[in-house]
Amino acid sequence: MTKDECKQVVLDIIAEIAPDEDLSDVKGDVALREQLDLDSMDFLDIVMELRKQHSIEVPEADYVQLASLDSCAEYLTPKFNALV
Amino acid sequence: MALSRVVITGVGLTSPNGNTLEEFRRSLLEGKGGISRIDMRYMGQVLAGVCDFEATKYQRRKDLRVGTRAGSISIYCAREALADAGIEVDQLDAKRTGIYVGTTEHGNVETENEVYNISQFDYDTKFWSHHHNPRTVSNNPAGEVSLNLKVHGPAYTIGAACAAGNLGLIQGMQMLQLGEVDFAIAGGVSESIRSFGIFAGFKSQGALAEHEDPNKASRPFDKDRNGIVVSEGGALYTLERLEDAQARGAKIYGEIVGYKINSDATDYVLPNPERQAECMRGALEKAGMQPSDIHIVSTHATATPLGDIQECEAVREVFADCPDTHINNTKGYIGHAMGAAGSLELAGNLPSFEDGLVHPTINVDNLDPKCDLPGLVINEAKQAKRVDAILNNSFGMLGINSALIIKRFSN
């Protein structure tokens, strides 16, 4: 999986948990919470969907890694590739 | 101490056969039901009353995903009631507005969903949703309304089995009379059709209705009735002290003049007609009225073989020799809306103050002689000489009884 593909996986999850948001222009280097109406419960949803849909575990200490699309891609891409 | 008079100034509702009071009333006068077959987890198809209100009218899709159906029904009903009352949300005094929502139960739906969810993951509880607790706390439906309206006053549910719709209204009235709030949104809601356990429980009890025609399945007072059709729905009212309502020139649907809540203390599920009669008499006493002053008795009868007969015994005794008292029932159209039943059934009768029509009990093809009450209006609406007062019965499991009396408003 490439980092761009990983970002798309994250965006697909956000589309499910925040269906009212416009995701057409989410900037990779800006915190998701600064661009989208996401709260802490929504981030727990992201963690849960990564677990359910992709068998990816994100320990609580690593939640900060999900702050932006770029940091998500940096953190999650190796995890996805380790699954294969 | 003289208590303030409390009046109804707005109605918001969703029912399987209407999403506004006007639609609902028209359906009741035209004999239009709202029962269909739905797929139920583990059970196959069951009969149910399903509402089709536009949930996104007042909520974001995200709120619908995070919240509960009971919360969504409550928000829709609360917002519609405010609109009907001619009040913008930002006109409310947030600290002085209370929300009182009657529920039969809450949390079954969400818990069943989570158990099913983790069953897909070999019952590993790490897949259990963090949304479970805020969804299942008892105050959820009222709390979702407070979040949606941004009001800060007391917002809670009243758990009272299928008497809950009346109890929500009574609680709202009392809080206005105590001066705890200046404006109340009150009534009852139900999301019970999303819980297989409710259906399976009634089926095991031999109390779940079946009929090849869904809209003939719920048939209170008919000899061939065979049980309950479970429905979802809600009806919330705006309540105000009379002086406040008059000061703002509000439309007044009616005045709550009497109520009574009591308990059978006899059985988990079987009703007790003696206590039901005491409950109706208690409401009349509080209202300072005689049985003959009541022109419509809206019965609770759920179409169970025994329950209908027992309520008829109680009504027959209290309303003996009352030639101008009409008796009807709403469940033939919409099934049993559980926590919403009392408040929805009252709403369907409120327009009688205006048009003098008493909507009928439908699906009575073969009237049970034991339910043949004088004044029973069956299958066709009846024009009453006048309708000045409605007594609304709502009873529930564990023997909770309620009767509420609404009077045509008069200075």
Mind listing the pLDDT tens digit for each residue in A11-42?
999 999 999 999 999 999 999 999 999 999 99
What tokens were used for B209? 């209705």
What tokens were used for B239? 């309540």
Q: What is the mean pLDDT of residues B381-387?
A: 97
State the pLDDT at residue B167: 98
State the pLDDT at residue B405: 98
SS3 B400: strand
Q: Chain B: nearest CA to A32, how far in angstroms?
A: 16
Buried b (16+ CB within 10 A) or exposed e, B248-267: eebebbbbbbbbbbbebeee
- Number of domains into which chain A is organized: 1
Burial class of B10 by CB neighbour count within 10 A (0 to 12, 13 to 18, 19+): buried
Q: In B50-131, where do the E strands start and end?
A: 97-103
C-beta separation of B281 from B293 below 8 A = no
- Judge whether B359 counts as a catalytic residue: no
pLDDT above 90 (res B2): no
What ipTM was assigned to the predicted interfaces of this complex? 0.95
CATH classification at residue A66: 1.10.1200.10
Q: Is B128 left (phi over 0), alpha (psi -120 to 50) or beta?
A: beta
- Which amino acid is residue B248, in one-letter code? R
Q: Chain A: nearest CA to B110, how far in angstroms?
A: 16
Q: Chain A: nearest CA to B135, how far in angstroms?
A: 13
pLDDT above 80 (res B328): yes
pLDDT above 90 (res B411): no
- Which amino acid is residue B251, in one-letter code? K
Stated length of chain B: 411
C-beta separation of B99 from B78 below 8 A = yes
Q: How far is CA B324 from CA B277, B297, B317, in A?
A: 19, 11, 15
Between CA B369 and CA A75 the distance in angstroms is 74
Q: Chain A: nearest CA to B62, how far in angstroms?
A: 5
State the pLDDT at residue B46: 98
Q: What is the mean pLDDT of residues B324-328?
A: 98
B130–A44: do the CB atoms touch at under 8 Å? yes
* pLDDT digit string, tens, across residues B68-127: 999 999 999 999 999 999 999 999 999 999 999 999 999 999 999 999 999 999 999 999
Q: What is the mean pLDDT of residues A61-80?
A: 97
Residues of A within 8 A of B128 (CB-CB) are: none
- Chain B residue with minimal CA distance to A44? B130
C-beta separation of B260 from B100 below 8 A = no
What tokens were used for B213? 């025609």
Between CA A22 and CA A15 the distance in angstroms is 9
- Chain A residue with minimal CA distance to B132? A41
C-beta separation of B4 from B182 below 8 A = no
C-alpha of B22 from chain center: 17
φ, ψ of residue B41 to 5 degrees: the values are -45, 135
Name the active-site residue from B106, B336, B359, B371: B336
Range of the domain at A9: 3-83
B62–A41: do the CB atoms touch at under 8 Å? no
| Strand B326-328 to B296-298 pairing | parallel
Q: What is the mean pLDDT of residues A41-65?
A: 97
A51–B127: do the CB atoms touch at under 8 Å? yes
pTM over 0.95? The answer is yes
- Judge whether B162 counts as a catalytic residue: yes
Contacts of B372 (CB under 8 A, 6+ apart): none
- Judge whether B336 counts as a catalytic residue: yes
Residues in B lying within 8 Å of A, measured between beta carbons:
60-62, 65-66, 121, 126-127, 129-131
Between CA B381 and CA B361 the distance in angstroms is 9
* pLDDT digit string, tens, across residues B208-218: 999 999 999 99
pLDDT above 90 (res B1): no
- Chain A, window 10-49: residues with a beta carbon less than 8 angstroms from a chain B beta carbon: 17-20, 37, 41, 44-45, 48
